[in-house]
Amino acid sequence: MDFNSAQWQEYFKDRPLEEIEKTKKLLEKLCDKTTIGKVIQFKDKEDGTYSQVGTVIDEVSVFDYDYKCFIQKIEYGQEWVEPMREKFGYRIGYYTIDAKKTKILWGQYACQMPERMLKELIEKARVKFF
């Protein structure tokens, strides 16, 4: 990450040096964070059981300050291929840094991003996946 860019200079403006250094270290970890190889499971709301949807086989991402937004390419497990009528699925998600700047968290809510960033993310997915 280029922390010398105008975007980051503005982001860190007027923040204590200790917080800046802590945040930079977490942002570098966030940069390296990947979900490739992760098994995706869904919980049945009725009975509480879990089923394995598939495995993340690839991803593309963009950054919005301390949010890493991404699209995951999921290879469905056998029990999901037939009902989905496809071999692959996609999920949009994000990781971010907690408010105390101590750890990286999976975003539990849907991503929202500006149109230009969504276009960039979709273009990366188009080039890499299709």
- The set of residues, in sequence order, having a beta carbon less than 8 Å from that of 71 and lying 6+ positions away, is 59, 60, 61, 90, 91, 92, 121, 122, 124, 125
Q: How many CA atoms lie within 13 A of 56 on its CB side?
A: 17
Is 1 among the domain residues? no
Q: How many domains are contained in the chain? A: 1
Domain region containing 26:
6-129
What average pLDDT score do residues 91-98 get?
Answer: 90
pLDDT of residue 84: 82
What average pLDDT score do residues 63-76 get?
Answer: 89
Report pTM: 0.75
pLDDT of residue 28: 92
Is 83 among the domain residues? yes
What average pLDDT score do residues 28-49 get?
Answer: 91
Residue in 75, 61, 74 with CA at minimum distance from that of residue 122: 61
Band (pLDDT 50/70/90 cuts) for residue 77 is very high
